[in-house]
Amino acid sequence: MIKIGITHTEAKYPNYPAWIESAGAAYEIVVLDWEKNNASDLLQCDGLLLSGGVDIDTQFHEPATKEYPLQPAAFKTQRDVFEMGLLTTALKAKMPVLGICRGLQLINISLGGKLILDIQSNGQPNHRAMDGVDHVHQVNLDPQSQLATITGTKQGTINSAHHQAVLEPAPSLKAVAFSSEDGIIESLEWKDPTEHGPMVCVQWHPERMQNKENEPLSQNILDWFLGAAKKYQHEHH
């Protein structure tokens, strides 16, 4: 069995294992839960999926704590620390990593990048879900990117449910997909993938896109991730 570690989240968690399991019975889900502090379970995994959820505590990416629109009543600082530890372990092992929404933001912060704290108050259009329905918009991919190779496309329609975004990519990362509405960064990848393990980071939610089985910006990412996990298992477990 190929084991996929998924970080637990209060935000629509069941979508993530359902997406992985849609690929067949060869995959086992390992729930990595900050409340159980079971980080050691990552060592049995063949891939790490960092899920969406609440904003990351500003202490990890702002020089001074500041208030901002739509700030959560309380951060989940223990979750942030737990997941940053998981990421460090996965990157050291060159384990495949897929960062989704908050997951992308956590990866960017962990590696030294910066975030826009609130997109709308930054003078840009809404990217949030409204009344439980994801926002939808066009995205343009860098045709030279790994993501364009994986998905076989240079543009598409994505779902959107975030009010924060990447302001500056971390030094080791580059932006490779952008919202056609406003240029918001929608995906990050390694500048030099030869030095690192496989990683894709997307700001959208491929696990809950409409018609995702026929959508390259969902299905091809899933196929890539599970293929990388299978290769990792073959080499390490």
pLDDT tens digit sequence for 75-100? 999 999 999 999 999 999 999 999 99
pLDDT of residue 110: 98
* Distances, alpha carbon 32 to alpha carbons 38, 86, 102, 221, in Å: 6, 9, 15, 21
Which of 96, 91, 54, 98 minimizes the C-alpha distance to 76? 54
pLDDT of residue 14: 97
Mean pLDDT of the region 58-78: 91
pLDDT of residue 181: 86
Exposure pattern of 45-76 as b/e (b: 16+ CB <10 Å)? bbbbbbbbbbbbbbeebeeeeeeeeeeeeebb
pLDDT of residue 45: 99
CATH number of the structural domain spanning residue 186? 3.40.50.880
pLDDT of residue 53: 97
Range of the domain at 230: 2-236
Average pLDDT, the chain: 95
- Tell me the C-alpha distance between 32 and 42, whole Å: 7
The tokens for 231 are 């290769």
Mean pLDDT of the region 125-132: 71
pLDDT of residue 237: 78
| pLDDT over 80 at 16, yes or no | yes
Mean pLDDT of the region 180-206: 97
Q: Predicted confidence band at 124 (pLDDT cuts at 50, 70, 90)?
A: confident
How many other β-carbons are positioned within 10 Å of the β-carbon of residue 106? 25
Q: Predicted confidence band at 133 (pLDDT cuts at 50, 70, 90)?
A: confident
- Tell me the C-alpha distance between 90 and 135, whole Å: 31
| pLDDT over 90 at 65, yes or no | no
- Tell me the C-alpha distance between 103 and 50, whole Å: 5
| pLDDT over 90 at 38, yes or no | yes
**Active-site annotation, residues:** 101, 205, 207
**Total structural domains in the chain?**
1
pTM of the model: 0.96
Q: Predicted confidence band at 225 (pLDDT cuts at 50, 70, 90)?
A: very high
* SS3 category, 114: strand
pLDDT of residue 126: 73
Mean pLDDT of the region 148-166: 95
The tokens for 197 are 């393990």
How many other β-carbons are positioned within 10 Å of the β-carbon of residue 108? 26
- Tell me the C-alpha distance between 211 and 37, whole Å: 35
Is-contact 45 95, C-beta < 8 A?
yes
| pLDDT over 90 at 230, yes or no | yes
| Residue 65 falls in which region: left (phi positive, over 0), alpha (psi -120 to 50) or beta | beta
- Tell me the C-alpha distance between 71 and 94, whole Å: 34
- Tell me the C-alpha distance between 12 and 215, whole Å: 20
- Tell me the C-alpha distance between 142 and 145, whole Å: 5
Is-contact 201 99, C-beta < 8 A?
yes
| pLDDT over 80 at 131, yes or no | no
